[in-house]
Homo-oligomer: A and B are copies of this chain.
Amino acid sequence: MDDMARGDGNASFYKGRRVLITGGLGFIGSNLATHLVALGAEVLLIDCLNPHYGGNRFNVAPIRHAVHINISDVRDTSSMQYLVQDQEVIFNLAGQVSHIDSMRDPYTDLEINCRSQLSILEACRHHNPSVKVVFAGTRQIYGKPHSLPVTEDHLVRPIDVNGINKAAGEYYHLVYNNVFGIRSCSLRLTNVYGPRQLMKHNRQGFIGWFIRLAVEDREIQLFGDGSQLRDFVYVDDVVDAFLRAGASDACNGEVFNVGGTGPVSLGELATLLVEVAGTGRVRFVEWPPERKAIDIGDCYADSSKFERATGWSRAVGLREGLTRTVAYYRDHLSHYVEPPADAGTDTP
């Protein structure tokens, strides 16, 4: 909430506005809800609370009397047709985000990331065509980059089923914008971190898992020399990006990278994390062959298109963001850890 002042430009826009967040009890959704409540919006959160996914009632404990919570699954077409009605802005964040799960069970990934997006948009087309929709896209759709930093002109070449279905989900939003006038845009997020992120297992991205390992004073294993470059963006900056996109008709029909400051190697990240936490340690290990085979090498994004369109900029640097994040989990770790449901680590 420290950066709420940056929301000022959006304060008048969101005050009293009816806002729906799918995946609203998840990582980004709950942080977004927290900011929207502070801005005076009427917030409806949808989440299915699938125990393997990021939805967590504790995420909205401080605002639970200030929001409406509706437990439902975006795969449930009937509920969606009702719930989108009368909403003014939809932040469409519900998704299956595990690479590994998508390759084990591609149908579930398709149902959630592809078919459900279509049914949300169909619900808007038939029951609420004046709504504005902001979709949570992902840099994963670029696959292994052929040029860096990755811009929005980079080819979409997903390397897994999850990336394909997320790409299709994004394309639907653009087509519904262009053909049916459902004002929509997509933010292609890179590596987002911060409070309220899932860390009960390691299949939804590595950064939450690394933070847990550091906080629990465990060993963080890096493959190879840890030199792979990524960009990291603090969740409050991502929340600010969503708020700006939701309030800006200049974004309609467009896709935008929303990433972090200049590239950082995984080794630098882990070292900084351990330093900030004062606990945990880093160890470099051999690449497991099956992981090397799906490694995408370096990947970091150019967010300048979004900066130009909305005036967005990042306010929280990596050290500051990690410091806040570690502090949050030191206070609340018990609400975020459970015995891992399954083995396997997701690709950095």
Mark A residues whose CB is within 8 Å of B.
103, 106-107, 110, 114-115, 118-119, 122, 153, 155-161, 163-165, 167-168, 171-172, 174-175, 178-179, 294
Contacts and interface: CB of A to CB of B under 8 A. Distances in A.
Copies of this chain, tallied across the complex: 2
B171 A167 contact: yes
A118 B110 contact: yes
26 contacts: A103-B179, A107-B118, A107-B119, A114-B114, A114-B168, A115-B115, A153-B155, A155-B155, A155-B156, A156-B156, A157-B174, A158-B175, A159-B175, A159-B178, A160-B175, A160-B179, A161-B172, A161-B175, A163-B175, A164-B168, A164-B171, A164-B172, A164-B175, A165-B168, A167-B167, A167-B168
Contact of A106 (B118, B160, B178): B118
A155 to B, nearest CB: 6
Contact of A110 (B114, B156, B167, B179): B114
A151 to B, nearest CB: 11
A140 to B, nearest CB: 12
A165 B171 CA distance: 9
Contact of A115 (B110, B167, B171): B110
Given A155-B156, A171-B167, A179 B122 contact: no
Contacts of A115: 107, 110, 115
Contact of A168 (B103, B107, B157, B168): B168
A115 B168 CA distance: 12
A299 to B, nearest CB: 17
A19 to B, nearest CB: 26
Q: Which of A155, A157, A164, A178 has the most CB of B within 10 A?
A: A164
A179 B153 CA distance: 25
A305 to B, nearest CB: 14
A302 B114 CA distance: 30
Contacts of A103: 179
Contacts of A153: 155
Contacts of A174: 157
A161 B115 CA distance: 11
